[in-house]
Structures are given as structure tokens and as C-alpha cells.
Structure 1
């Protein structure tokens, strides 16, 4: 489906007015997996700076809880592995807001299994959410993001994509796929002339339920090293906020590791 660029000129003057307000004032931003953890922190940071946030999560009750605490936010039930739900979600966003300015593909799951422990079913489930969900988000939302005139995609990967992590075999594979897909997406947008940029965030250990589960599967020395470098979800959210905002308008294709230096230690 080709991007409709006819509305770009109509929206650009509005952007100039927004720049004098909050850092993302008036931007319509969809965040997946926003009912918990890093996604919730992303939604809160974006809303604080003036975005109209769509809090999307497969856990609809959690999405509603987060959205109700934020100004101008909307909750959506979204299973990121389901293409028809993606299409319905985008249709709802366009009906309510008339545009989409940014997409944060945050939804992901992990199962802490080595290559020998992982079943094909388990591997497919992890990659379906963390990799296929990102693919469906990019594919579905790309026309609307292009029509916004300055669309931004932020794909949440992980340091597991660039370091050997035997206890998270499928998760590492899925997040590696996110990096490769994002690079290909960027080149495609450039070739098609779409005004959409995409960047990747690679978090290390942060204080979330997923990370706390991971500690149970790590060797004691690795667990302690991770805790020494551990950050708060808000630290990742501040970076996501920057990448959604026009402050990062020249940043396209960046792979930003946020782990307090653990990967270089």
C-alpha cells in the first residue's frame, strides 16, 4: 500500500507550533507492550512531554490502567502477532486522531532456555512476539507514518542481540532479527522516498519483571555483574523520548546500547 503524502504540507505548520511546547507535543505515538515494564515507562515519558499516546498491550486491563493515568492517552488491546489486530488498531487510531507520527515496537517476551532446552514451539512463540510483532508493526503502520511527513520508528532490541547469551537463545535470535529488519526498513524508506526514520534501542539490564526472571537463570557472577550495571525503566524511556522527538531528526539507523557500559567492560 503506497504512502499517502498528500497531507504532509497540511501537517507541517502544526509541527512548527508544537516545537515551542513539550518535546513531543501533539504527536500521536503508538507504544506496544505498554501495559508493563519498559513500555509503560515509554508511554509515561511521552505523555509527560505532550504526546497523545496509544497504550497497546495484549493485557487490555493493564493497558487501560496505564492509559487512565495519562493525559490524552488511549488504551488498545493488541496481540502483536495478529495481523488483523494490527490493522484494526491502526484503523482505530486514524479514526480518533487522523494520523500516526511514531511507533515504538516494544512488545517482547523471553523464555530462558539454551539451544538444547528450547523446543521448536517455544522458539517460535518468542520470535513470533519479539520479531514477527515488530515486522507487522512496521508493515502495517508505515503508510500512516510516511503520511505524517516525519515519521519515527523506535524498535526495541536488546544487548542479547550482540552478545552471546546461552540462557536466552530464542530471545537473542529474535532481537538479532529486529536489528536486521530495521536496517532493511531504513534502506527501503530511503529508496521509496518515505519521510520515515527508524532507530534501534538495545537495553541491558533494567529493573523489570523480565530481567528479574532472568536473574534466576544466570550464573551468580553474571547476575551480580548485571545488577551492578542495572538501570531503571525511565532511563530507557528518556532515550525513546529523544528518538521520537524532532530533536533526533537527523538520527536514522542508530543502534544505541544503553547498559551503563557493561558490553564494553
Structure 2
């Protein structure tokens, strides 16, 4: 049989763009995920890839500043268990072209997902505070927070501002604010005016998150509870049970789940 003299041709601009982006990133040498390497980047928009033990695990984008976005991941990983920053490397591309509806990170995700890569793009790694309505959700196996729960032994600088009461007694409101700022994971709590009049005795100038939370809980009014969930902390004036809770801090003591 003679060959056909006609056929269909479909031009995929998005596939071509995805292939070019991937090829450009593959030509880069992954750098260790350190603050020095992150801060050496220019504050420009672009796309980036994270590697764990050499495996591509996440693709993301920065609409304004690559170093600012990648530093958020650095902080997140630094406060997790079963993982270390030494395992992590990254590459990135400055992308200032107007792609319109064609998101460059989506092109990369689709390409790598088809090759069985970028698992962190689908396991909750990139999530921020999920909101109060998700506090009672049970975290599934395979979720980033399940595999790498928050590190309650993360070391903090004890908040000792000039407004101390006596020695190392600090208003609870300040301790909560400083703890929230220093933690590399979310600490969501309900504020109360009475916290200004409650003094907390801190155990030292360098303390773990667990030691700080224990000191806070000891001074909480009756009924209040700090709950350590797999991916973040919450504190509310009601001692509830949460399906995925790992630890409760109350003025009656610490309870491991």
C-alpha cells in the first residue's frame, strides 16, 4: 500500500515550553539548601526545584522573589523530624517572561509527574496554615506532615525583652508572640487580654519548643490547651481531642498521644 499523502499535526506550545524549562533546569548543578546559597540569589520571580537525597521532590514558583520563597521552605524543613537540611539541594531559574495563563511551574509539574517525580507537590508540603476548620482532620499516611512531623525539640532563643517583670519572668502575651515568631512552623492561638498580667518563668536563654510550651501551659488559665498537631501548633480555651494530635500541653501537665 502506498503511504497516505495527508495527516494531522498538532502543535503543543505548552509542551515545548515545559520541555525547554525542564532542559534548562536539568543543566544546572543542584546547590545545598543553605541560607548562604539562598541569599546569594537575586530577588526576582522564577521557578525552582527541590531535591531530597538527589531525588526531585518538589517544583514551585516565586511570583516576586525566589530567595524569599525558597527561604520559607528552608525554615519549614528545619523544624521537621525524620529529615535534615543536609539532605536537601535546589536549582532555580529566573523567569520574567509573561506566560499569561501558562504557569511555568505547572508545566514542570505535569512533565515530572508523568515520570513519577515531584511527590511533595501532592502531599501537602507547600501548604501554609490550613485554617481552624482543618484542625480536626485526620492526617493521612503519605502526607508530608505525617512523614515529617514538627520538631518539638527545635531550639529557641528564650524571649527576654526589656519589659521583663523580675529576673526571667516575662508576660505571657510576649512569650506567645516571640515563640510564634521564632518557630519554623505555624503556632496559631487565641489572644486574651489577661495574658498581659500573667508572668511566665522561662527555663533558660536557649530552650526547646517543648520546654517553652511546657512553661507556657503551666501558666495558662484553667481550660486552655496547647495541641501539637503533625504540622503545626494550636492553643485555644477549650480542651478538645483531635484525631491527629501528638501531644497536649495543659496547666495540669503534658500528655503524649
Structure of higher CA gyration radius: 2
Structure having the higher helix fraction is 1
User: Is the TM value for this pair above 0.5?
Assistant: no
Structure having the higher strand fraction is 2
Task: State TM-score, norm by structure 1.
Answer: 0.27
Greater relative CO (CA pairs within 8 A, separation 6+): 1
Task: State TM-score, norm by structure 2.
Answer: 0.27
